[in-house]
Copies of this chain bind each other. A is one copy, B any other.
Amino acid sequence: MKQLYIFIFLLSITRTLQGQNQQVLTPIGFSEVSITDAFWKPKMEKVATTTLQTCILQTEVKTPRIRNFEKVARKQGEKHEGIYYDDSDVYKALEAIAYALKTHPDPALEKKADEWIDKIAAAQLPDGYLNTYYTLNELENRWTDMEKHEDYCAGHLIEAAVAYYNTTGKRKLLDVAIRFANHIDSTFRLANRPWVSGHQEIELALVKLYKVSQEERHLKLADWFLAQRGRGFGKGVIWDSWKDPAYCQDAVPVKEQKEITGHAVRAMYLYTGAADVAVNTGDTGYMKAMKTVWEDVVHRNMYVTGGIGSSGRNEGFSQDYDLPNESAYCETCASVGMVFWNQRMNALTGESKYIDVLERSLYNGALDGLSLSGDRFFYGNPLASNATHERKEWFGTACCPSNIARLVASLGDYIYAKSANGIWVNLFVSSDAKIKLADNEVSVSMQTNFPLEGKVKISLSPSTQNRFALYIRIPSWADGEPVSGNLYKYLTNYQSNISFFVNGKKVEVKVEKGYAVIERQWEARDEVSFSLPMDVRRVIAREEVSQNKDRVALQRGALIYCVEGIDNNGKAWDFYLPDNAKFTESKQQILHEPIIALQTEAITFKPTPDGQGLKPEKKKITAIPYYTWCNRGKTQMQVWLPRRVHSIRINYDE
């Protein structure tokens, strides 16, 4: 049986490495995009300063993460402190620094990064191995426990190395990463030694490395890691009779997977890596499986915030349609992973629905993980709170802070893409970019106040007058349904027709795969303009989601709203919102963050003075964008607001 697997596996490697690149779109990298946006630019600046300084302080001073590397170099028999996967936080912070340096050069920050890199390089063993936990504590046991995140840490090292090389041109960390990757390749793939990564991550990292190193072995190793899964090699190591193989997506081979299971971040990194391998090998098997898995995520297991992984027990997925609000896990890293994976799915298909999900996860589930001040974090992002949640300075397992930092710092990656004869606008973010199309270079400039307002202007200046198509994503929320599938729908049917203008004149557009296509001869300073509909929409969930029975969520543009106690006399769980309540919008600030708040009138019930009765009473309520909650202390919150009363609890507010 095992021989058969190996045969099939070799056959598939051979076939796929000869295949055709299926990628429809090439995303424009963040280094080609200059962001001028009122919403995102201040956040990127905050990340480049406050958030990264927080990561540095925690990594270097308040926790022993950097000190572990120093100990390896000192060789004085000192033991590892912290958790065995702590190296990864150093690498991920370094990756975020690399992205920030590209857009916000800062010699002091670069010096700090070089200092870290020297320490990391000094901790690499002569054979290329690099892991402070094993090197300090039990080197004789390295590579014996697939669950101990050695390859996961390697993956983050590789990602950091590629990012730092791309920003600075400095090869030191890249060479460290290549030596480590080659060590892994020799130890496993070339030695034909089975190994299932207990926490996927190295697959996508190796494809990034391959793009820089151009060494085929790095791509082959990524593919090899994918092919290891679901063959039973992890039995007794990363899973056993006590632990489910589906937890780490090891129950069936990746290409045969149909359902989303287990740990959400592991799953997202796995599928991102599979998509990257598919693009570079032309292997269609992964994509076929992933389309089915994606539907399982988005049609049955995704929160309205784009968050995933409802259960804290496994940091992951539970049953279809089980989407509890207060106990929602929705790890920040999982939403970051949704951004990664959906970008790949969009690039491979040219379909806008993947960006709809990406945008939802980005503006809601992921962004919620970072405080407005930039120095506090959510690990989980619940959709309701009884004033029990608060943002933290750091975590014992500190994956989320540097993950949201690297995402925001590289936001430019997700705005534009190109195809053979087209420029694709995926997100609405004020920015300038130069995009090469065949022999033409097009200067693109977008101006918008999205997500606060819906007007968007895009100026195009081709270097040579030329015919090409501009593809503008029509967000699903603007056009009849909040998101692909029918997990969520609008309470009332809604159809908007967005009018597109070129140089002020309305143009007819055709719509392809969710994009408005304007194909013409473009001239310098041509300006495309349109308005996205920004009215407040009531979203309801399908009835299978029992937690949202008789409830409604509010969405305005890309933003999901919530009601927080601090704006509502301390209580957010004591009212219902009649379906005919009208909203008024007002510009407000939460700390320094400008927002559009929604005001309306709900119904509450007030106890009589003796506490023996209840009488109905109007309650003015204010809703704010979900990503801004919990920046003003611990307070009640809910995203899904009751539309009517079907039950009450008495005295459960405290």
State which of B603, B607, B647 has its C-beta within 8 Å of the C-beta of A574.
B647
Q: What mask results when residues 606 to 649 of chain A are scored 1 for a CB within 8 Å of chain B, else 0?
A: 01001111101000000000000000000000000011111111
Q: Which of A47-55, A97-105, A545-553 contacts B (4 or more CB under 8 A)?
A: A545-553
State which of B607, B647, B648 has its C-beta within 8 Å of the C-beta of A654.
B647
Are A610 and B574 within 8 A (Cβ)?
A: no
State which of B576, B645, B650 has its C-beta within 8 Å of the C-beta of A642.
B650
Are B607 and A651 within 8 A (Cβ)?
A: no
Tell me if A571 counts as interface (CB < 8 A to partner B): yes
Tell me if A194 counts as interface (CB < 8 A to partner B): no
Q: How far is the CB of A278 from chain B (nearest CB, A)?
A: 38
Are A613 and B611 within 8 A (Cβ)?
A: no
Q: What mask results when residues 492 to 513 of chain A are scored 1 for a CB within 8 Å of chain B, else 0?
A: 0000000000000000000000
Are A651 and B550 within 8 A (Cβ)?
A: yes
Are A571 and B654 within 8 A (Cβ)?
A: no
**How far does the alpha carbon of A611 sit from the alpha carbon of B648 in the complex, in Å?**
11
Are B607 and A647 within 8 A (Cβ)?
A: yes
Task: Give the bracket for the number of chain A residues in contact with chain B.
Answer: 35 or more
Are B575 and A650 within 8 A (Cβ)?
A: yes
Tell me if A126 counts as interface (CB < 8 A to partner B): no
Tell me if A378 counts as interface (CB < 8 A to partner B): no
Q: How far is the CB of A642 from chain B (nearest CB, A)?
A: 4
Tell me if A396 counts as interface (CB < 8 A to partner B): yes
Tell me if A488 counts as interface (CB < 8 A to partner B): no
Are A614 and B612 within 8 A (Cβ)?
A: no
State which of B549, B551, B650 has its C-beta within 8 Å of the C-beta of A648.
B650
Residues of B within 8 A of A240 (CB): 81
Q: How far is the CB of A332 from chain B (nearest CB, A)?
A: 21
**How far does the alpha carbon of A653 sit from the alpha carbon of B324 in the complex, in Å?**
12
Tell me if A605 counts as interface (CB < 8 A to partner B): yes
Are B549 and A649 within 8 A (Cβ)?
A: no
**How far does the alpha carbon of A242 sit from the alpha carbon of B398 in the complex, in Å?**
14
Given A242-B396, A396-B242, are A614 and B651 also a contact pair (CB < 8 Å)? no
Pull 15 A–B residue pairs with CB atoms less than 8 Å apart, ordered by A.
Answer: A81-B240, A242-B396, A550-B611, A573-B649, A573-B652, A574-B648, A576-B612, A578-B612, A603-B612, A607-B644, A612-B645, A613-B645, A614-B648, A646-B653, A647-B651
